[in-house]
Amino acid sequence: MAAITCAELLDMSADDAGTIMVWVHGYFGGMANDTKVDLKGFGEVAKAVGDYCLQHKKVTLLSAVKDVAN
Q: Let me know: does 59 contact 10? Beta carbons within 8 Å.
A: no
d(CA 16, CA 53): 16
- Residue 42, pLDDT above cutoff 90: no
Mean predicted lDDT score pLDDT of the chain:
91
Q: What is the pLDDT confidence band of residue 55, given thresholds at 50, 70 and 90?
A: very high
Q: What is the pLDDT confidence band of residue 38, given thresholds at 50, 70 and 90?
A: confident
